[in-house]
Structure 1
Amino acid sequence: MNVRPSRAVLVLTVLTMALGAAACAENDRSGSDEGGLTIGLLLPGDRESRYWQFDKPLIEKKIKELCGDCRLVHNNTISDAAIQRQQMESMINKGVEVLILGVVDPPALRSTVEDLKEAGIPVVAYDRLAEGPISGHVTFDGAQVGRLQAEALLKGMGHKADGGRIVMMNGAITDPNAGWFKRGAMSVLKDRVKIAMTYDTVEWREENAHANMSGAIAALGVDGVDGVYAANDRLASGAIAALKAAGVTPLPPVTGQDAELAAVQRIVTGDQYMTVYKPFEPEADAAATMAVALGRGESLEGIAKTRLDSATTKGIPTVLLTPLPVTVDNIKDTVVKDGMYTIDDICTPEFRSACDKAGLTR
């Protein structure tokens, strides 16, 4: 039987390791007052996720700009709190002096955040608000994300916007942002539509959304869904696949979030109505700037202009960014203009005809 060490033993161990690592790091930084930091980065998602494709390289680039001799130690976690706990604890062994954390399960990892704090390692919560004594936070306004999704959904529903039946595909119950999005969406939808079915998923997975959407269609009928609130593009993909498999035509408007390439292509073909684009570079830049400042013992006063409360901590210094809606009408002015994708990325041969029709290739 595996026996987990007591909290006291764990804290003593990590403190001892941290002191030794810090001493080594201090020796490595001799002659440089401004650099030599070891910065940890733990993000959720797999290699296909936005975190791996966009956030990580942008964070790494900004850290190098701010601190040429800083070292980045990173890992990705596929929605598994136990694995992320091990990764967080291993950051201490690796001599990390500050950690950027995209937490997968805030309540489950609260005690590990506390251990990092006791080891003298400040934590910057990235995109999702971690619990415990975090030192800074950067994210997009989740209420505004939900409002943008809801407003677009009503527009896409047209004359069915008043009294129509929608299915809500909300995000992972372990992600605090999911509730934030939902509250923002409901502030717009509550007096306009009938919430026929609502689902809170265990993880942000397409197969979960597919199963839930299939169940909703079975209960409501192929003509019983006037719109689908999907909290992100993965859930939108699963919902759309289920609608198509059930022979629902025309497809009802479906929302999304994260501006994944496949989602933008679905918007071009008309399968998905919209997505929410969260410009990743400002978020990555803010997290990197916070991490370097904290690693150097500097205040976040001039960086974070907002304060947010978690379930455990009040007044967390926060950089709160503004999301943008993306529909077929503004793809060029958002994700293409910012260099996230090129027209060639979007308009592959499979989508060339739809791109021509949408005016993207002119």
Structure 2
Amino acid sequence: MTSTLRSAIALAGAAALSLGAVATSGAAQPGAGRQADEVKIGLLLPESKTTRYEKFDRPYIEDKIKELAPGAQIDYYNAAESATTQQQQVNTALAKGDQVLILDAVDAKSIQSSVQKARDAGVKVVAYDRLAQGPVDAYVSYDNRKVGELQGKALLEALGDKADSGEIVMHNGSPTDPNAAEFKAGAHSVLDGKVKIGKEYDTPNWDPNNANQQMAGAISALGKDKIVGVYSANDGLAAGIATALKASGINVPLTGQDAQLDAIQRILAGTQTITVEKPYKPEADTAAAIAVDLAQGKDIPKSLTPETVTSGSGEKVPAKLLTPVVVDKDNIKDTVVKDGLYSVEEICTPNYADACEKAGLQ
């Protein structure tokens, strides 16, 4: 073998070793240095019956992802309240090659196997608003026990000296939503021993029609003159409850949550007492920022997940828990209007013009 041939073989071998080292280095850090146009994120929301998801959460999340990673691919899914559909949607997202899932679970327990499947595939999961069980990588929500405490305190304040003169009815929301258990626990921590609870309900899928039927049943069972107040875990339920109360000629303190437009209008009209606003943009922006970091192979900054929570299946999860705000007739302008959820024009339609004027919404 000539010296020239030996040199050529040696150079080829060195090049192969160099390429092998580069490939091995790249495999050791999947996602590291990934460019914005390589980011693929699946956004999985639970339903559209509650107006927040399509009106606020989805556009806020998508806009923030595009701001941080302009070339990102976003695959959107809405489960329409079906846990089975959402499990299938996770499978679709994995098949599409999504690197991160932002997941608001329909059923926190049943989605656990899908979360594990994502982990096994090397896909990160950001639990959004509801803490899914399984090995999620981060969680963004509000202090949900605090939500229940605020609702309970507002109801007690509205009841005043009538708190021990009758009974209240409690509507706690969907049993498959872990947040509902937190709202309920927070409310009970305030209400127990201070009011008599005549009837208490869970309402699957947060269905306003079911809440309406439950409230009508409670009125029939307890008697309209015995009910002094109603705890509703969210505004969707409150809509069904308010209809049942009106049909029976009852107007008592009623709580809510989510700051839906119809709830703000009921507050102005005097048929709902308060709602709890969980400003959607900070929640959505945080989840989007975490998802983009994970998709690009970066560690999550501690500023985005300063806390740790434990899921129902025992996992310790880095978390960001934001602070909710009570909205009543006196602070609508300083909360939902100031935060950009609704304009005065959206709230103060002709049917509510007089009430808006009295509340100083002009």
Q: Common fold, TM-score beyond 0.5?
A: yes
Q: Retained in 1: the 8 A contact 2:137–2:318?
A: yes
CA 221–31 in structure 1, closer or farther in 2 if over 3 Å, else same: closer
CA 145–30 in structure 1, closer or farther in 2 if over 3 Å, else same: closer
What are the superposed Cα offsets for residues 47-70 of structure 1, whole Å, 9 maximum, x if unpaired?
Answer: 662011100000011111111111
1: CA distance, partners of 2:46 / 2:34:
33
2: CA distance, partners of 1:314 / 1:112:
15
Match of residue 204 from structure 1: 206
2: CA distance, partners of 1:48 / 1:167:
22
After the TM superposition, which of the residue ranges 326-335 and 196-205 deviates more from structure 2? Answer: 196-205
The aligned runs of 1:182-193 (5 Å cut-off) are: 182-193=184-195
Q: Retained in 2: the 8 A contact 1:300–1:317?
A: no
Shift of 1:79: 1.2
The aligned runs of 1:12-31 (5 Å cut-off) are: none
2: CA distance, partners of 1:256 / 1:143:
14
The aligned runs of 1:149-298 (5 Å cut-off) are: 149-162=151-164, 164-248=166-250, 251-298=251-298
CA 32–194 in structure 1, closer or farther in 2 if over 3 Å, else same: closer
Determine helix, strand or coil for the equivalent of 1:203.
Answer: helix
Q: Retained in 2: the 8 A contact 1:163–1:192?
A: no
Q: Retained in 1: the 8 A contact 2:259–2:276?
A: yes
What are the superposed Cα offsets for residues 111-133 of structure 1, whole Å, 9 maximum, x if unpaired?
Answer: 11111111111100000000111
The alignment status of 1:307 with 2:289, answered yes or no, reads: no
Q: Retained in 2: the 8 A contact 1:101–1:126?
A: yes
2: CA distance, partners of 1:237 / 1:57:
25
2: CA distance, partners of 1:94 / 1:258:
33
2: CA distance, partners of 1:55 / 1:333:
21
| Aligned amino acid, residue 224 of structure 2 | V
CA 357–99 in structure 1, closer or farther in 2 if over 3 Å, else same: same
Shift of 1:280: 0.3
Q: Retained in 1: the 8 A contact 2:46–2:80?
A: yes
1: CA distance, partners of 2:132 / 2:95:
22
Shift of 1:340: 0.8
2: CA distance, partners of 1:313 / 1:39:
26
Shift of 1:161: 2.3
Shift of 1:159: 1.2
Shift of 1:32: 6.2
CA 108–30 in structure 1, closer or farther in 2 if over 3 Å, else same: closer
Match of residue 46 from structure 2: 44
The aligned runs of 1:88-127 (5 Å cut-off) are: 88-127=90-129
2: CA distance, partners of 1:287 / 1:304:
10
After the TM superposition, which of the residue ranges 137-146 and 152-161 deviates more from structure 2? Answer: 152-161
What are the superposed Cα offsets for residues 9-50 of structure 1, whole Å, 9 maximum, x if unpaired?
Answer: xxxxxxxxxxxxxx9xx9xx9996454201000001216620
Q: Retained in 1: the 8 A contact 2:36–2:70?
A: no
Provide TM-score, normalisation by structure 2: 0.89
What are the superposed Cα offsets for residues 92-145 of structure 1, whole Å, 9 maximum, x if unpaired?
Answer: 121101000000001111111111111111100000000111000000001110
* CA root-mean-square deviation: 1.7
Number of aligned residue pairs: give it: 333
| Structure 1 residue runs without a partner (length 5+) | 1-22
1: CA distance, partners of 2:100 / 2:224:
52
After the TM superposition, which of the residue ranges 55-64 and 305-314 deviates more from structure 2? Answer: 305-314
2: CA distance, partners of 1:31 / 1:102:
28
Q: Retained in 1: the 8 A contact 2:170–2:197?
A: yes
After the TM superposition, which of the residue ranges 174-183 and 58-67 deviates more from structure 2? Answer: 58-67
Determine helix, strand or coil for the equivalent of 1:152.
Answer: helix
2: CA distance, partners of 1:30 / 1:67:
15
2: CA distance, partners of 1:315 / 1:31:
27
2: CA distance, partners of 1:265 / 1:134:
38
Determine helix, strand or coil for the equivalent of 1:171.
Answer: coil
The alignment status of 1:349 with 2:354, answered yes or no, reads: no
